[in-house]
Amino acid sequence: MKILMDGSDVDAFRYLNDYSPLDGVTTNPSILAKGKGTAEEQVLQIADLLDKQQNLHVQVVSVKYEQMVEEAKRISKALSRNVFIKIPVSPDGLKAVRSLRGDGINTTVTGVYTTMQAVMAAKAGAAYVAPYINRIDLAHGNSEIVIKQIVQTFRTYGFSTKVLAASFKNTRQVISVMEAGVEEVTLSADLLKNLIHHKETDTSIEAFTEDFTSRFENSNEMFLK
């Protein structure tokens, strides 16, 4: 199970990666539009922080086939590391995926709402598909059913394409896709912080410290010299 940060905030990535090693970063045009600096600066700063085992997913802005391919090649050339180019699921997008695969450029098909979109992306040669969990539910779909169908279909037909689930609003949704067998998830910095937070845990920690310091002369450490 791999967990990535969905964002471009380098400070947030450093903080989270320090105590819970992340498996990479995903960005998209909307994220970069809200970030600090140019889009290129944000992507390069994130790329510099990642080690060789951590993946980076960067999305094209173009919507037409020729422009998508050209933009994908520019992004790949600009980064001195392996990168997965995010391509929206559309006729032009899937055509671009097929072309880029022939050039040895890995792609992540994004904006996936249905099982058949995921299947067609896999057949086109995508390395990843990125279903939008919360947005599927908001669009009156059932993300739990869609995710289970995608995972099972990929296994049944032997697709090498992996599922990178995106668009989460709570940890319940994350647990649900884990139960379905999804290989990877990408989460906002705020949701990543909440993965290990529970108010009862905080209460327990406070009680441990209070009990110890009241008994041992207000010391809050053991084996002091």
Percent of the chain past pLDDT 90, that is, above it, reads 91
**Mean pLDDT score of the chain, rounded to an integer?**
96
> Do the beta carbons of residue 105 and residue 135 sit within 8 Å?
no
86 assigned to active site: yes
Residue from 77, 86, 162, 169 carrying the catalytic annotation: 86
The string of pLDDT tens digits covering residues 59-99 is 999 999 999 999 999 999 999 899 999 999 999 999 999 99
Cα-based distances in Å from 35 to 43, 63, 118, 123, 142: 10, 22, 29, 34, 31
pLDDT at residue 225 greater than cutoff 90: no
The fraction of the chain above a pLDDT of 70, given in percent, is 99
- Domain parsing of the chain, residue ranges: 2-192
Per-residue pLDDT at 136 = 98
- Please name every residue paired with 58 in a beta bridge, in sequence order, or none if there are none: 85
Q: What angle do CA 186, 203, 197 make, to 5 degrees?
A: 0
Looking at residue 113, its pLDDT comes to 98
- Nearest alpha-carbon partner for 82 in 24, 42, 130, 40: 24
Kindly state the tokens that stand for 78: 């600009």
Give tens-digit pLDDT for 176-212: 999 999 999 999 999 999 999 999 999 999 999 889 9
pLDDT for the residue 221: 85
* Right CATH for 2-192 from 3.20.20.70, 3.40.50.300, 3.20.20.80, 3.40.50.720: 3.20.20.70
pLDDT score of 26: 98
How far apart are the C-alpha atoms of 185 and 200, rounded to whole Å?
A: 26
- Band the pLDDT of 147: cuts 50, 70, 90: very high
Predicted TM-score (pTM) of this structure: 0.94
